[in-house]
Amino acid sequence: MRTAVDLHIHSALSPCSEKDMTPNNIVNMACLKGLDIIAVTDHNSMENYLSVLKCGRGKKILIVPAMEIESREEIHLLSFFSDFAAAQSMQRIVSDALMKVENREDIFGRQLVMDEWDNLKGTVKHLLLTATELGIEDIIDLVDGLGGVVIPAHVDRESNSILSNLGAIPEDLKINYLEISAECNLEEYIKKNPQLSRYHFIRSSDAHHLGDILERESFLDLEEASAACLIDLLKRK
Ligand SMILES: [Zn+2]
Ligand SMILES: [Zn+2]
């Protein structure tokens, strides 16, 4: 089946996102836009995942456990999991590997943890938008070992992307998909970077505002709309 996806959305937990990126607002906006599958990919944390999941109950939308992990090389890596327990294991590893710098809310913004009714449960005190001590290969291996998959985020951007920070994609990395940002013209991008034509590409919003969540414009063909099928596809060469 053809599914419309947006696999890169930030909730109000990410310091850089709008504070109306609440669990209910995200799910309702994604439903309004007709999306079949979304992932809330906060920086180095998935503390709002269960609340978003609960908001999606009874609605025709799949919400995949995910995170945007920052490697030691300051590369942003989207990681997706087929089950919550595996994602939680990775969350613990990432949390231990995160440099614990106090969040300056006045500079970076608040990091809101919310329940499924959008009530504030608390805030994360250490800054989430920072690098972990894990190298890119470690992250890919760890996520793979937990049955998940990694997609390098916004490869067309000039900061925090695998190409901007490493200059090229090492041949032996277990990577089959690359994410391009909403504004990227894929045809022109591949023309300029022909060495990337061996990868599959997926477009996501990296939404920090509700209005930025994609319309039905980024599609994946899945046997069924399940996290397991999604992970399977993203692992395929
Ligand atoms: Zn990013
Ligand atoms: Zn992001």
Ligand nearest to the CA of 10: 2
Rg (alpha carbons) of the chain, rounded to whole number: 16
Q: Which pLDDT tens digit goes with each residue over 13-69?
A: 999 999 999 999 999 999 999 999 999 999 999 999 999 999 999 999 999 999 999
111-138: average pLDDT: 97
Ligand nearest to the CA of 77: 1
d(CA 206, CA 112): 18
Q: How many secondary structure helices (H) and strands (E) does the chain include?
A: 8, 11
CA torsion through residues 197, 39, 138, 182, sign: positive
Q: Hey, what are 123's tokens?
A: 């805030």
pLDDT of residue 99: 87
User: Within 10 Å of residue 73's Cβ, how many Cβ atoms?
Assistant: 15
Ligand nearest to the CA of 159: 1
CA 46–ligand 2 middle distance (angstroms): 13
CA 10–ligand 1 middle distance (angstroms): 10
Strands (E), the chain: 2-9, 37-40, 62-64, 66-70, 76-80, 112-114, 120-123, 149-152, 177-181, 200-204, 219-221
- What is the domain partition of the chain in residue ranges? 2-235
d(CA 148, CA 177): 13
CA 152–ligand 2 middle distance (angstroms): 11
Edge-to-edge, what's the strand order for the sheet holding 2-9?
A: 62-64, 37-40, 2-9, 219-221
* CA distances (Å), origin 52, targets 91, 114, 188: 16, 9, 36
pLDDT of residue 237: 83
pLDDT of residue 142: 98
CA 52–ligand 2 middle distance (angstroms): 17
User: Within 10 Å of residue 236's Cβ, how many Cβ atoms?
Assistant: 9
| Residue 27 backbone phi and psi in degrees, to 5 | -65, -45
Q: At what angle do helices 136-145 and 84-97 cross, to 10 degrees?
A: 150
User: Around ion ligand 2, which residues have CB less than 5 A away?
Assistant: 68, 206
The SS3 assignment for 178 reads strand
pLDDT above 90: percentage of residues in the chain: 98
CA 155–ligand 1 middle distance (angstroms): 9
Length of the chain: 237
216-229: average pLDDT: 96
pLDDT of residue 128: 96
pLDDT of residue 22: 98
* CATH class for the region spanning 2-235: alpha beta
CA 4–ligand 1 middle distance (angstroms): 21
Whole-prediction pTM value? 0.97
Ligand nearest to the CA of 156: 1
Q: Which pLDDT tens digit goes with each residue over 165-212?
A: 999 999 899 999 999 999 999 999 999 999 999 999 999 999 999 999
pLDDT of residue 193: 95
pLDDT of residue 208: 98
CA 76–ligand 2 middle distance (angstroms): 8
